[in-house]
Structure 1
Amino acid sequence: MPLSTSEQVNATAEALLGGFQAAFGKHPGYRPAHSKGTLVTGTFTPTTEAAKLSKAQHFNSPTSITVRFSNSTGIPVIPDTDPNASPRGLGLRFNLGGRQHTDIITHSTPFFPVKTGEDFLGFLGALGANAAYKGESPTPLETFLGAHPETLAFIQAPKPTAESFVGLSYFGVNAFKLIAADGTVTTVRYQIHPTVGTKELSAEELGTKSPNFLFEELPERLAPGPVELKLVVQIAEEGDPTNDATVHWPESRGVVELGTLKLEAIEPEPKNAEDQKYIIYDPIPRVDGVEPSDDPLLDVRASLYLISGRERRAAPELQINL
């Protein structure tokens, strides 16, 4: 009997978890991707334009937020100076009261390597096969990239590292629907942009930095007072694809500022480590006023995060040494 859609999604998510663990090793208690991170608390204040676009609670009143900055890969101790630590991640949680929340997940490049969970499995498989391949060209990875130019574009895309996590722009590659009070639907992609000027580092400059320089810099940055980031949306027009995260919408599309993220403090240890282990950021909004699009990655990502999150929560107590 063929699998149902939900069963297929969960099977793909399980396979992806195995693929990430095969690529980066098993690290109980840590995320399979973007393992190395830290939590910052603060407040989101929406603009009047946000309230026009969505009836969601967090777009109509100030809301407590929990932000997680992270490095790429599933290696919990990857140096901040390692090129594979980019793109950086920013997970944004709006705390709506009680156990209610809604999340936005972004990373520091507008590119994404694949359009489906099955393609991601193929990519991870090619990476794994490439490591053991001793033959002539084309390698397994070259063969995969030849058939998937969108993945090659992601690999070749710039992935800058700035002097600070708060000096980068972050992009949500999936599309969502904002639902206004009168029922008007606006299809968007999220972006988060800095308000402070920081220098983009060259490879040579990165080589002079501490392995944990971004995690060391962030508390110093926040010590004098809060730092702000701007949450905006790019608005789709008719014909813009909403089911393919690898396709960019034209730069000419309208951009609307939704509000300000005021980052106030690093969450102290041991609560920081405990909450990172516990929090499962959810790609599906699950809040009145915001709905998922038809992007097939959303359900797969949500299932993967839930499965890996449950595994993470069941792991022994973490020992984090940044």
Structure 2
Amino acid sequence: MPLSEDVQVLETSKGLVGALQGAAGGPSQFRPAHARGRLYTGTFTPTPTASSLSRAPHFTSPSTRLTLRFSSSTGIPTIPDTEPTANPRGLALRFHLPNLPNGHRHHTDIILHSTPSFPTRTGAEFLELLKLLGGGDKGSIDAFLGAHPETQRFLQTPKPSPESFVTERYFGVNAYYLVDSEGKRTAIRYRVVPASGEVRHLSSEDLEKKDRDYLFAELPRRLEAQGPVELVLQAQVAAVGDVVDDATVVWPEEREIVELGRVRIEKAVEEEESLKEQKRVIFDPIPRVEGVEPSADPLLEVRANVYLISGRQRRQAE
């Protein structure tokens, strides 16, 4: 994927990478956000509903090979699982599609977090917020929050720690369009939920009793003991009039939810190999595949450039 040709987007993205790295004190061989993570392999099996909404290959093929990454927030690669700022947790799905005619590998990604919104509408506003937080001027921070109630709302939203990575609910904060074989576009936001439908979090008292690595240790043990674990990929469907270009706006819960398919987590990538591969893999919030289109959300291009800039840094550091 190429860097943006928009100078402002590119400068904002570079600024965000620098600000996030500065806040975490993290070296460039790790992600500036969600630095701590582990890779898993699995399979995605779509529903008939998915193929009726989108002609994308991962929604129309019988199954598609997956790489998954569960992660914790911040750019600190050693952040304890018990640290409150490790929330929200992240989940990235990479769908490995058939190779292109020139032999290049082909894939598309879905990136989700355990909160249903983003703190700011634009990358420039997020960069401004990070700089204010880094400066520590309470008056300036309060002024920003007063002018941006959506940011205040995000900061005040509870972010409890999950019992397991697979008992959490994950949200795609950006909207996309699923495009069917006739060209009909349906505005959606992705969700991933436990197959049981049961989301389980820890109380503050129970969290205090947990080991610092409880989350990252639990899932590999679960897979070894119980075998594959299933999650459900869903789409929340926008209604007429819903805002589709602002990740700070949460759609009402009464909006239709449809099941797009099953995410089967089969195996944890060996820890050493996972650490090595994470330095190379660059997830992309822009689909770049026929059958799924990005919305006009201004965060999408900035996020794609932040991931690409920091990904190139990781590869160079390697």
Give TM class, smaller chain: over 0.9
Deviations 1:180-223 (A, max 9, x none): 01111101000000124464111121111111110000111111
Q: Which residue in 2 is equivalent to 1:77?
A: 78
State the TM-score, normalized to the length of structure 1: 0.93
Q: How does 1:1-322 map to 2 (within 5 A)?
A: 6-61=6-61, 62-98=63-99, 99-130=105-136, 133=137, 138-196=138-196, 197=198, 199-223=200-224, 224-316=226-318
User: Structure 2 CA distance, aligned partners of 1:96 and 1:212?
Assistant: 33
Deviates more, 1:307-316 or 1:256-265: 307-316
- Contact (CA 8 Å) 2:82, 2:211: kept in 1 or not? yes
Question: How far off is 1:269 after superposition?
Answer: 3.4
- Contact (CA 8 Å) 2:26, 2:77: kept in 1 or not? no
Q: Which ranges in structure 2 are unaligned for 5 or more consecutive residues?
A: 100-104
User: Structure 1 CA distance, aligned partners of 2:143 and 2:214?
Assistant: 37
Letter in 2 for 1:151: T
User: Structure 2 CA distance, aligned partners of 1:276 and 1:226?
Assistant: 22
User: Structure 1 CA distance, aligned partners of 2:9 and 2:250?
Assistant: 25
User: Structure 1 CA distance, aligned partners of 2:121 and 2:315?
Assistant: 29
Letter in 1 for 2:283: Y
- Contact (CA 8 Å) 1:233, 1:255: kept in 2 or not? yes
Q: Which ranges in structure 1 are unaligned for 5 or more consecutive residues?
A: 317-322
- Contact (CA 8 Å) 2:169, 2:199: kept in 1 or not? no
SS at match of 1:270: helix
Deviates more, 1:47-56 or 1:246-255: 246-255
SS at match of 1:162: coil
SS at match of 2:271: coil
User: Structure 1 CA distance, aligned partners of 2:162 and 2:253?
Assistant: 23
User: Structure 2 CA distance, aligned partners of 1:269 and 1:20?
Assistant: 25
User: Structure 2 CA distance, aligned partners of 1:207 and 1:214?
Assistant: 13
Deviates more, 1:89-98 or 1:30-39: 89-98
- Contact (CA 8 Å) 2:38, 2:271: kept in 1 or not? no
User: Structure 1 CA distance, aligned partners of 2:308 and 2:113?
Assistant: 19
Letter in 1 for 2:74: T
Deviates more, 1:297-306 or 1:262-271: 262-271
- Contact (CA 8 Å) 1:111, 1:157: kept in 2 or not? no
Q: How many residues align?
A: 307
SS at match of 2:218: helix
SS at match of 2:296: coil
Using the aligned pairs only, state the percent identity.
Answer: 54
SS at match of 1:141: helix
User: Structure 1 CA distance, aligned partners of 2:229 and 2:65?
Assistant: 15
Letter in 1 for 2:222: R
Q: Which residue in 2 is equivalent to 1:320?
A: none
Deviates more, 1:171-180 or 1:17-26: 17-26
Question: How far off is 1:158 after superposition?
Answer: 1.6
User: Structure 2 CA distance, aligned partners of 1:310 and 1:125?
Assistant: 23
State the TM-score, normalized to the length of structure 2: 0.94
Question: How far off is 1:263 after superposition?
Answer: 0.3
Q: Which runs of 4+ in 1 moved over 6 A?
A: none
Q: Which residue in 2 is equivalent to 1:319?
A: none
Q: Which residue in 1 is equivalent to 2:102?
A: none
Letter in 1 for 2:44: F
User: Structure 2 CA distance, aligned partners of 1:259 and 1:232?
Assistant: 7
Letter in 1 for 2:149: P
